[in-house]
Chains A and B, each alone.
Chain A
Amino acid sequence: MIDKNEGLRKAKDIYANRAHRVKELKAEGNKIVGYPCMYVPVEIITALDLIAYRTYGDMAEPVTEADRALPTAFCPIMRSCLDCALKAKDGFLDGIVATHSCDPQEKTARVWESYIDYSYFHFIDIPGTLRPEALEYYKGQINDFKKALESFAGKEVSPEKIKAAIELHNRQRALVRELYELTKPEPPLISGTEILQVIKSLMSLPVVEGNELLGQVISDAKERTDGPQQKPARLLVWSSTLDTLDIMRIFEAGANVVVDESCGGIRAYRADVKLTDDPLDGLTDYYVTEITCARTFREAVFGEARKDYMADLESRFGYLKEMAKEWNANGAIFLLVRYCDPFAFEMPGLKDYFESFGIPSTYIEYDYTQGSLAPLRTRVEAFLETIG
């Protein structure tokens, strides 16, 4: 009997036991390299025949060990990530690549490197702006990363191998975009909850296996007859990281999440890495310019002598307006993780921007604990009542 939802079921299983496959691969002699943030150029890890594995926190796991290393008033996601690492939940990792994607990531990296003795640990500094000299600096940083990883892998990587890895990851990006096409119909052919399972699965598998999974999921979703029900609201969700089904289920109790612009959603897949002669040029441009995390300082015009508020908002958030239109969203939730400064500063401006094109929005804060789910549910329900 053919399992019509084989891909979706597989993604669900992988989500529930993310490390299963990489542990198998490790047992076969592969090296697994963890990364806690999407700003790590995973293409270089793939090009060196290593397995990239995204480390996440665990909202269901109370933070205990990280208390000795980080204060309580601190990014709860990074606290949870470090807590999991200190409890050896990702003890199969051979190494970690951390980045300066935000201040908590940068500070946690130092502590992480101090407390856990990995065979390999590398830190990539990332500039805050998109200026040409900043990109040049970043290219040097990823070249250093490449060299350090070559040394760890015990071999050199050619530009051709990096280009081939870029193509594989671009294929994944294209497939994820295709997946999100399936949320455009009313009702969507796949739910936000299912997509989150798929995205976390992709970040737990070698890229080739992830691409196979995507192919299956897309095919399943197109064929299925038991897809999501149509709900009164079609939501755009914007967040730093949305990595927990419990939250997505709260949203989808009263709405269809049609697009999730976060680290657990489409953000890492919206654009492709350009295939440049020197592949590091394409990677530099992609990782600093194309990823739309609030951590990057963007402006309408480089070195503008006078600021226009709406033009500024347009340059920073215009892509969200396009997404809202393309997915026909009628509401937006800005999900803020407590103590996340880059996203927190955006809240009033982002609300102003969404008001300017008539899509109701709200910002909801949570602290990455199970205890935050009940108040979050209340806030979500109240918001959905206003747009339903």
Chain B
Amino acid sequence: MAAEAKKKVINRLKSMYPLRGKVNETYLKSVEAMRAGKPTVWAMLNFYYGDPIIKAMDLEVVYPENYGAAMAAMGVAQSYLERADAEGFPTHLCGYSRANLGYTSRMMKELKGEIPPEAPLGGMPKPIFLMASTAVCDARYKWFQALGRYMDVPVWTFEAPIPGVKELFMEGSYERMVDLGVKHGREFVAFVERVLGKKMDWDRLSETVDLMIEINELWHETNELRKEKPCPMHGRDFWSSMSPALFLMGDLKDSLQCFRNMYDEVKYRVDNHIGAIPEEKYRLLFAELPPWHSLGFFDRLAERGWNFVIESFGYHPPIPLDLSGFSDPLERLTRFSLQVYVAYYKDALEENVPAGSFAYPYLKYAREWKCDGAFLHPLISCRSASTHLPYVSNVLMERLKVPSLTIEGDIVDLRLFDPEDAISKAEPFEETMEHYRSIRRQEGLDW
């Protein structure tokens, strides 16, 4: 009974459940598609560039990164990690990639293409092609290239340019990025047409892009509501709901309605001063990916009055941009995708933070969401999500007097995260947050 009560410390949004359900639904649909002889694609998180195109071509798509998190959360990743090690892949590679390489090796070498029976959520069927991305890290295209060892499946690597902050404002720089994205998108469409032997329905692509934009605008507005005190939506609901917006999982029209419902529920809470936890003592920022295998530790922190009010910029929707003037869906898509990184660059330049995407957003978030502290979670096997965290910690302290708590862990390997250690550090960090509250007030900051 007591354990039951503890589970309810975080007041989860009812509107979250249908969105969370879309993840499971996606994997099951991909298996159904395989059984029905329909093609499936494996894709990296590509920050929108390629997803609407795949979606408009009526392909079922699964995301090995996301599936790696699911395997970790369900406790079945370990045997695949060990298999990848035995195949000769270095153990310090991305945990998601090692789990997937092990999974694919087992599926293709041992089971001749059959889905491993122990695979959760029905497993991932052999794809017709792999869509990689250069965004964020090298692993996300080198990993798919390495899968060639097990599967005769082609790889498309999507370009995701990332200029320097001041360099973006050199004459013509942004438009050249748009040009690259549009041309590259057109080549990708031609590739998919060639692989599938059917033509793109451009009206459908246009509609898909618009739905993606609308979903993400609503999702953005919902997260803006989290600036309220008390914060009406906890980070756990964010992580549970992000996939249909970020990966476009599930039917987009249905997702749009789900996000509308979520906006309404969060707005209702704002209007009625209902917080996501009973007593919000501390407002926390979380960076980067959470320990998927140990999400329950958020509940234990919630018991102490820790409300997680904002998360990693890369998983949040881009800052909305008026794209109605662009008739080419590929151009709308490209500009929308670029917005993930470059939306923060102008402010970053003004505030002299050269890490315009990976560090600057946290400065903005801590200020606007009135955070008392930052919970930084460097991931041993996901260096791209960790590299900038010491810098983020320094910037938050120097500019805003917001302290950080750094707890190392991993996205897949549960041995590398110790929730008890994290909890044991909570009390001293509360004292630190209290201390810096008074420092901020002395320095004229308003929270």
How far is B190's CA from A68's CA once the two chains are assembled, in angstroms? 47
A344 neighbours in B (Cβ, 8 Å): 89-90, 92-93
B388 neighbours in A (Cβ, 8 Å): 107, 110-111
Contact at B146–A348, with CB atoms within 8 Å?
A: yes
Q: Does A123 contact B (CB under 8 A)?
A: yes
A109 neighbours in B (Cβ, 8 Å): 164
Q: Does B224 contact A (CB under 8 A)?
A: no
Contact at A308–B358, with CB atoms within 8 Å?
A: no
Contact at A128–B143, with CB atoms within 8 Å?
A: no
Contact at A347–B90, with CB atoms within 8 Å?
A: yes
**Chain B 358-386 near chain A by CB (<8 Å), digits 1 or 0:** 11000000000000000000101001101
A128 neighbours in B (Cβ, 8 Å): 134, 141, 157, 159
Q: Which of B136, B195, B378, B394 contacts A68 (CB 8 A)?
A: B394
Contact at A114–B391, with CB atoms within 8 Å?
A: yes
Q: Does B389 contact A (CB under 8 A)?
A: yes
B354 neighbours in A (Cβ, 8 Å): 110, 113-114, 121
How far is B129's CA from A33's CA once the two chains are assembled, in angstroms? 43
Q: Does B183 contact A (CB under 8 A)?
A: yes
Contact at B390–A110, with CB atoms within 8 Å?
A: no
Tell me how far the C-beta of A383 lies from the nearest C-beta in chain B, rounded to whole angstroms.
Answer: 15
From 129 to 171 in chain B, residues with beta carbon under 8 angstroms from any chain A beta carbon are 132, 134, 136-139, 141-143, 145-146, 148-149, 151-157, 159, 161-164, 167, 170
Q: Which of B1-9, B174-182, B203-211 contacts A (4 or more CB under 8 A)?
A: B174-182
**Chain B 80-110 near chain A by CB (<8 Å), digits 1 or 0:** 0000000111101110010000000000000
B156 neighbours in A (Cβ, 8 Å): 303
Contact at A107–B358, with CB atoms within 8 Å?
A: yes
Given contacts A110-B359, A306-B154, contact A349 B187 (CB under 8 A): no
Q: Does A181 contact B (CB under 8 A)?
A: no
A49 neighbours in B (Cβ, 8 Å): none
Q: Which of A97-105, A183-191, A229-237 contacts B (4 or more CB under 8 A)?
A: A97-105
Contact at A303–B161, with CB atoms within 8 Å?
A: no
How many B residues have CB within 8 A of the partner chain?
Answer: 65
How far is B92's CA from A125's CA once the two chains are assembled, in angstroms? 26
Given contacts A100-B162, A312-B148, A344-B92, contact A69 B390 (CB under 8 A): yes
Given contacts A73-B378, A294-B142, contact A144 B167 (CB under 8 A): yes
Contact at A110–B358, with CB atoms within 8 Å?
A: yes
**Chain A 334-367 near chain B by CB (<8 Å), digits 1 or 0:** 0010110110111111011000000000010100
Contact at B391–A129, with CB atoms within 8 Å?
A: no
From 130 to 154 in chain A, residues with beta carbon under 8 angstroms from any chain B beta carbon are 131, 133-134, 136-137, 140-141, 144, 147-148
Q: Does A379 contact B (CB under 8 A)?
A: no
Contact at B159–A345, with CB atoms within 8 Å?
A: no
Residue from the set B87, B97, B138 with the largest chain A CB neighbour count within 10 Å: B138
B383 neighbours in A (Cβ, 8 Å): 71, 73-75, 103-104, 339, 341
B138 neighbours in A (Cβ, 8 Å): 102-103, 295, 341-342
Q: Which of A304, A312, A339, A347 contacts B89 (CB 8 A)?
A: A347
Q: Does B173 contact A (CB under 8 A)?
A: yes
Contact at B195–A305, with CB atoms within 8 Å?
A: yes
Contact at A103–B159, with CB atoms within 8 Å?
A: no
B179 neighbours in A (Cβ, 8 Å): 133, 136-137
Q: Does A122 contact B (CB under 8 A)?
A: yes
From 54 to 102 in chain A, residues with beta carbon under 8 angstroms from any chain B beta carbon are 67-71, 73-75, 100, 102
Q: Does B184 contact A (CB under 8 A)?
A: yes
B136 neighbours in A (Cβ, 8 Å): 103
A-B contact pairs, 7 of them (CB 8 A): A106-B162, A107-B358, A110-B359, A110-B388, A128-B159, A305-B154, A344-B92
Q: State the A residues within 8 Å of B (CB).
A: 67-71, 73-75, 100, 102-104, 106-111, 113-114, 121-123, 125, 127-129, 131, 133-134, 136-137, 140-141, 144, 147-148, 294-295, 297, 299, 303-309, 312, 336, 338-339, 341-342, 344-349, 351-352, 363, 365
Nearest first, the 9 A-B pairs at minimum CB distance are A123-B164, A128-B134, A110-B355, A345-B142, A133-B183, A348-B88, A113-B354, A107-B387, A137-B180
Name 8 extra pairs, CB < 8 A, besides A110-B388, A312-B148. A74-B383, A104-B383, A110-B356, A136-B183, A137-B177, A307-B148, A307-B153, A338-B90
Q: State the B residues within 8 Å of A (CB).
A: 87-90, 92-94, 97, 132, 134, 136-139, 141-143, 145-146, 148-149, 151-157, 159, 161-164, 167, 170, 172-173, 176-177, 179-180, 183-184, 187, 190-191, 194-195, 353-356, 358-359, 378, 380, 383-384, 386-391, 394
